[in-house]
Amino acid sequence: MISPNDYEIILASSSPRRQDFFKSLNIPFTIKTYPVDEAFPTDLKGKNIPEFIVRQKNAPFVNKIQVRQIVITADTIVWCENRYLGKPKNKKSAKEMLEFLSGKSHEVITSVGFLTSQKFEMITETTKVYFKDLTNQEIDHYIDEASPLDKAGGYGIQDWIGAIGITNIEGSYTNVVGLPLAQVKEKLSILVQEE
């Protein structure tokens, strides 16, 4: 049986949370990223947005991929009431996002690309997240004490705001953190069998 350990796994992400997830799989990997414009056409909706961005992130590797290498790219967005929420530009933007999400459900959508020397494939996972009505004091405390600026939607489910504010989720927890780990592990297992 071939294992992912027989391959060079390249994680094209500077996200410390995604890197920690890969470490937890006990699969050796290296990190390689290229600067990528994450702008997308304004007519894209929902899952089409992270899928488009993943293709953009994947593009620099297409002509460099070697046999027995797998490049993994990923992008996570928050989608609420037909509105895209990426990473907030500043604390004011983070506050506006959390005020918008307060008392509502939203979707966290992560797309993950897998590039080999033979092909490119992608999986997309959606998790529904429910926030209670957040008070201004709770939002301000979180923004002042945490680092919401590197997180889609201006929050981390693993942070304090997740512990006190999220009442329910439907789907993968790790997807909300930034990578649907079980699905990624399964896809890697399938890919190495096919190669």
Distance CA 156, CA 158 (A): 5
37 labelled catalytic: no
For 133, the token pair is 């009505």
Q: Assess contact for 138 and 174: CB atoms under 8 A.
A: no
Contacts 24+ apart (CB under 8 A), 184-188: 184/21, 184/72, 184/112, 184/123, 185/25, 187/112, 187/114, 187/121, 187/123, 188/4, 188/9, 188/27, 188/70, 188/114
pTM, two decimals, is: 0.94
For 65, the token pair is 């991929």
Chain segment 15-72, per-residue pLDDT in tens: 888 999 999 988 889 999 999 988 999 999 999 999 999 999 999 999 999 999 999 9
Distance CA 13, CA 184 (A): 14
Q: Which of 75, 140, 150, 159 is catalytic?
A: 75
Residue 31: phi and psi, rounded to 5, are: -110, 130
Chain segment 71-102, per-residue pLDDT in tens: 999 999 999 999 999 999 999 999 999 999 99
Tell me how far apart the terminal alpha carbons of the chain are, to the nearest angstrom: 12
Chain segment 130-167, per-residue pLDDT in tens: 999 999 999 999 999 988 888 999 999 999 999 999 99
Domains by residue range for the chain, with CATH = 4-194 (3.90.950.10)
**The predicted structure's pLDDT at residue 26:** 87
